[in-house]
Amino acid sequence: MKVAREARSAAVVINAGSRRGAAAHELAVDTMEKAGVPISSVHHVLFGAELAGTLDRVVADGHDLVVVGGGDGTVSCAAGRVAGTDVVLGVLPLGTANDLARTLEIPVNLADACAAVADGKVVDIDLGRANGQPFLNVASVGLSVGVTEALSPRLKRHLGPLAYGVATLRAYARHQPFGARLDFPEGDHEPITLEHLLQVAVGNGRHYGGGNTVSPTAGIDDHTLDIYAILAAPFREHVNIARLLKDGSFVEHDRVYHVTSRRVRLFTEPPLSVNLDGEIATITPTDFAIQRNAVHVVVPQSSNSASFDGPGVASGPFNRGPVGPGT
């Protein structure tokens, strides 16, 4: 299998607003160039509002490798831009949670992440869509939106991943239970109506929220969405659920509903904001769907998180070699 250094042209886009983005710019570019990655374009995005336009220009310029440095929201934005194309995405995890990197087994250490871009293998991963908006890890309503609103840049900068715990306690104290209905357009489940909810989440990847696990069987290459709803309960019950978040076994708790599907439509009362990988991006009602094998991404050779099995194997931007286990 050929590696990323054999791309025709690579662009680097680093979000300086991410937790480590401002300090990583020169080191990342220098490290990858020394490793042979053919970088021909570098973009240092100073404000989040510039990110989407910068990524659109980079894709339009015809680069076949786009290396994105930032947090999960930054990478999801990039994934939405390259989904369904032959452009390959490289990931430098420079945010606070870096849950996609955890799912794909990409090192958080910058030098190691650069080495993974240069020497890694290309796989394809699923992309979630919420009212057409992309997400890689989890989309959710309820408590998580309050957590996102409580996660100030200052809190993330000073506490790192611990900021999620502090923000969760703040959001929990203000949370108001809500009602929801889940419809399944594929017909694989009967509609589900629930009252007095803490949170509803739709997972595409495996990890979210700084290392929590969507479910014991969740994966970013399994072509399904994991949907769970947590009922409101006394605080001690939510503490018990929280203890099970790391390995995903919370979905077996009797205060949690969990199903899998390729599509789900969520209605809430009242209408609520929807959090997509840490960014509040749409509102309910929301149609969720899976875009199978949508994004080509470079992962370490040792990663078992995904494989390349999508359409167009013979005509991709790199020579990926035989497709099968371990490729």
- The one-letter amino acid at 316: G
Q: Is the CB of residue 123 less than 8 Å from the CB of residue 232? A: no
Which pLDDT belongs to residue 314?
A: 33
| pLDDT on residue 278 | 85
pLDDT at 89: 96
The per-residue pLDDT for 315 is 34
> Can you tell me which residue has the tokens 């960014």?
279
Tokens linked to 46: 């100073």
Q: How buried is residue 193: exposed, middle or buried, by Cβ count under 10 Å (0-12/13-18/19+)?
A: exposed
Domains observed in the chain: 4-127+294-315 (3.40.50.10330), 133-289 (2.60.200.40)
Is residue 300 reached through a cis peptide bond, with omega within 30 degrees of 0 on the bond before it? no
For 314, phi and psi rounded to 5 degrees?
-80, -15
- Binning the chain into helix, strand and coil, the percentages to the nearest 5 are 30, 35, 35
Distance from C-alpha of 210 to C-alpha of 162, rounded to nearest angstrom: 8
**Please, how many CA atoms are within 13 Å of residue 68, restricted to the half-sphere of its CB?**
33
The encoded tokens of residue 148 equal 């996102």
pLDDT tens digits for range 158-179? 666 677 777 788 878 888 999 9
Q: Which residues of the chain have pLDDT under 50?
A: 1, 312-327
Q: What single string gives the DSSP state of each residue in 35-85?
A: TT--EEEEEEE-SGGGHHHHHHHHHHTT-SEEEEEE-HHHHHHHHHHHTTS
Instruction: Supply the DSSP symbol for 16.
Output: T
Active-site annotation, residues: 279
Model pLDDT, residue 146: 84
The phi, psi pair for 41, rounded to 5°, reads: -155, 130
Residue 274 phi/psi, 5-degree rounding, is -115, 130
- Cβ atoms 221, 125 nearer than 8 A: yes
Q: Which residues pair with 260 in a beta bridge?
A: 226
Backbone angles phi, psi at 172, to 5 degrees: -60, -40
User: Tokens 């990524």 appear where?
Assistant: 55
Q: pLDDT value at position 23? A: 64
The predicted pLDDT at position 216 comes to 95
Distance between CA 77 and CA 281 in Å, rounded? 11
Both tokens of 81, joined, read: 């831009």
Q: What is the DSSP string of 107-171?
A: -SSHHHHHHHHHH-EEEEEEEEEETTEEESSEEEEEHHHHHHHH--HHHHHHHGGGHHHHHHHHH
pLDDT score of 310: 61
The pLDDT value recorded for residue 323 is: 32
Rounded (5°) CA angle 227-261-303: 80
